[in-house]
Amino acid sequence: MTELQTKIVRHEAKVGVIGLGYVGLPLAIEFARAGLDVTGFDVDRERVASVNGGKSYIVDMSNDEMREILSTGRFRATDDFSALAQMDTINICVPTPLRKTKDPDLTFIVSAVRSIRDNLRRGQLVILESTTYPGTTDEVVQPILEESGLKAGRDFHLAFSPERIDPGNPKFNTRNIPKVVGGLTPACSAVARSLYEQCISEVVPVSSTRVAEMVKLLENTFRSVNIGLVNELAMMSSKLGINVWEVIDAAKTKPFGFMAFYPGPGLGGHCIPIDPYYLSWKAKMHDFEPRFIELAGIINESMPRFVVDRITEALNHHSKSVRDSNIHLIGIAYKRGVNDVRESPALNVMKVLIEKGAKITYTDPYVPRVREEGLELASTPLEQALSNGCDCAVILTDHSEFDYAYIARSARAVVDTRNALREFDGENIVRL
């Protein structure tokens, strides 16, 4: 056992987590709960102040939980990255968006790694958790860190462990989701495994950083491709006059060889709409054309316009056009139970409707205000919206807080993209 492993097991190690978002903050909390001394790093001073004030800004962490862990003295946040020099282990949990050209944007990773490089010392452990393409750890992170004069695998430990958090999931969280870990060397893997074993129920070691990086991309590309398939089936079923939701419910009674996926207004969030393009980009660098992956992306990206087509049909039934119609969007977060609108298909639906001249309002208990590309709207109470001359309501995110019986009863026309009105029938209901 190395000196660092001994410090980790004895809970004497100082743990740093860069990026206090939906991944980094819960991870930092779990390390602190396990008895480790944890410092969270973030460039956002408002976020740092919120953490130190015991105020949570993510749905999976309550203010009471924040205050409880802060009271132990084992967790604090800072925007002073020079404190990285005092850390024994450092986890990088920063965003990895796409550029408009759908190329990987590693700006946040590179910035975090440079901060570590400037404060790197012998014996430290650095783990990248941000989702990225296979090869990022040894092709990008390692060379930058070695600019310090220290050698990865000899002077410091380097590993990759993909984040797997599912915001808003009441069953699976940071603690009970198995953690995949791949080190630059076997010794790097062993030290990283020791760290995660302090607070995570199961750690799954793999042979390299590249394997670990590929694991996350496989997981999310699997979802993207299967959602693309069922979205295409939904569009096809609409043409054939078939209820796609009934088809899926019947198909999933097969006890083998089938896994149910569901259509929707498009893909949203921090992972599934983005990660397959990281894999696609890397494949093209090696002269491999990932046609299957990119076709799924094309289908999924077409869903917002398909939703607008269904809205148009619903309005036409009432002799209305999209232009000048009052259309109320029900839910704009990318998934139920969260306050995150990143890559939300609802925003694309909203954008297309505005382009067509519709008058838009929305309700979302998790998103009180939305500001996107010059658009600024505030959430409107649902009852107020439906009683004030709403021509069509559109269910885009099926939050549990919504009264779906009221929606089915009160909306003049409602387009349901999530099968939230499965228990209701009516000529006013148009399903995806």
Query: Is 271 labeled as catalytic in the residue annotation?
Result: yes
Phi, psi of 160 (to 5 degrees): -125, 135
pLDDT in tens, 255-287: 999 999 999 999 887 788 888 888 898 999 899
Report whether pLDDT(85) > 70. Answer: yes
Instruction: Mention every residue, 6+ apart, whose C-beta is less than 8 A from residue 164.
Output: 177, 178, 179, 180, 216, 219
Other Cβ atoms closer than 10 A to 55: 12
* Average pLDDT score over the chain: 94
Given the residues 93, 188, 199, 271, the one annotated as active site: 271
Residue 43: per-residue pLDDT:
97
Residue 245: per-residue pLDDT:
96
- Give the angle subtended at the CA of 101 by the CAs of 130 and 342, to the nearest 5°: 50
Residue 267: per-residue pLDDT:
87
Which of 2-16, 77-91, 244-258, 273-287 shows the lowest per-residue confidence on average (mean pLDDT)? Answer: 273-287
Q: What is the mean pLDDT of residues 382-398?
A: 94
What domains appear along the chain, each with residue ranges and CATH number? 3-207 (3.40.50.720), 222-431 (3.40.50.720)
Residue 288: per-residue pLDDT:
93
Residue 269: per-residue pLDDT:
79
d(CA 209, CA 213): 6
Q: Is 152 helix (H, G, I), strand (E, B) or coil?
A: strand
Residue 389: per-residue pLDDT:
84
Report whether pLDDT(139) > 80. Answer: yes
Q: What is the mean pLDDT of residues 195-206?
A: 97
Which letter, b or e, does each residue of 259-281 get, where b requires 16 or more Cβ atoms within 10 Å of its Cβ?
eebbbbbbbbbbbbbbbbbbbbb
Calculate what percentage of the chain has a pLDDT beyond 90. 88
Residue 204: per-residue pLDDT:
98
**Maximum average pLDDT range among 10-24, 333-347, 360-374:** 10-24
User: How distant is the alpha carbon of residue 247 from its chain centre?
Assistant: 28
Report whether pLDDT(373) > 70. Answer: no
Residue 103: per-residue pLDDT:
85
Residue 380: per-residue pLDDT:
94
Which of 47-61, 211-225, 331-345, 363-377 shows the lowest per-residue confidence on average (mean pLDDT)? Answer: 363-377
Which runs of E-coded beta strand occur in 311-406?
A: 326-330, 359-363, 369-372, 375-378, 392-395
> Hey, which residues does 180 pair with through a beta bridge?
204
Instruction: Mention every residue, 6+ apart, whose C-beta is less than 8 A from residue 310.
Output: 238, 415, 417, 430, 432
User: How distant is the alpha carbon of residue 363 from its chain centre?
Assistant: 21
By the 8 A CB rule, do 179 and 161 touch? yes
Other Cβ atoms closer than 10 A to 245: 18
Q: What count of residues does the chain have? A: 432
pLDDT bucket at 308, cuts 50 / 70 / 90: very high
Calculate what percentage of the chain has a pLDDT beyond 70. 100
pLDDT bucket at 246, cuts 50 / 70 / 90: very high
Which of 16-30, 107-121, 177-191, 363-377 shows the lowest per-residue confidence on average (mean pLDDT)? Answer: 363-377
